[in-house]
Structure 1
């Protein structure tokens, strides 16, 4: 029997990384799509030559210059689609290798920020959406280094609204509550998945 695959998603600043870490702490293998992208775009990353060819001046010896690449694609749908056509197939290949490595685990988590936006929800069995109040999200995001109101709003414009994500979720985990409440919600999801697996 193959593992139950959970898609973990949430808009920027919602606390998804915190929840992903809680799943990992509970022993659930977590595929972190962002971390894979950082590695593929880092020093000697396999995607550098393709990105540089399409977006000249956005890479260097330390990998992708994320500020330069962001400036090249944010707000430009065609450029974003071009970048996604370079990145997404490589991430899918890494994810397939991850699933193979953990094929005997009872469950896996795919941590994918744009799960719904990219159609990735078709590749998972259940979806967990991480959410927080809009004012909490805004404060968290604007506290990030290099973040501006314009950049935050541009990112939000590319993401499905939080209310729609929550409506499409099998489980919603809040992070605008004490950490132990969030951890308890993670534990309940894991227990539910074990129940599914036993049926």
Structure 2
């Protein structure tokens, strides 16, 4: 089983690429969606986050906007949060991989926004980075509800720069030249990976 890490800075088109990979038959584990479940009412992270930031839990769920206000631009607070959330996210990802291994899926995708930032490249066989011109990235992100230039600057400050991600990637997928090209490139990547042997999740590993 080949594990492909999918990543890219905010606004680069990663969600679109992940949807395309699903269309191509690759199961995708979405780290952001996992965190949403952990923060939802009854989620495993709610009580742990409340112990760190009591005011961010409302009606049994974590208010993500309130939480963002507590950690953005505050490295120490962010580290405390990550120490709680990352192990839970990792456990969910491992369970996903075990299910895929039992089904003998040839290529699985780990959609991880902060892959390089969390040294996630060690847990995948190859990395695909989605990328777009800075002006398009900024246009996409500032169109989101509640987003401001200051918020964008704070987010980018804790992300590995796009140029570095592209240099470290096995595959670079442009998303600013039309969906057809993006889909064609992803299809080629999947076909190429099917001919490789995975090393992260070996056949001998207990599934």
- TM norm structure 1: 0.97
> Matches of 2:25 and 2:126 in 1, distance apart?
18
* Contact 1:106–1:197 (8 Å) recurs in 2: no
SS in 2 for 1:108: strand
Q: Equivalent residue for 1:158? A: 158
Q: Equivalent residue for 2:32? A: 34
Q: Equivalent residue for 1:91? A: 89
Q: Which segment is superposed worse, 138-147 or 59-68?
A: 59-68
> Matches of 1:195 and 1:100 in 2, distance apart?
21
Q: Equivalent residue for 2:69? A: 71
- Say whether 1:178 aligns with 2:139: no
- Say whether 1:137 aligns with 2:137: yes
* Structure 2 unpaired stretches of 5+: 199-207
Q: Deviations over 1:34-62 (max 9, x none)?
A: 00000010121111011011111101126
> Matches of 1:42 and 1:146 in 2, distance apart?
20
* Contact 2:129–2:172 (8 Å) recurs in 1: yes
* Structure 1 unpaired stretches of 5+: none
- TM norm structure 2: 0.93
> Matches of 1:15 and 1:62 in 2, distance apart?
32
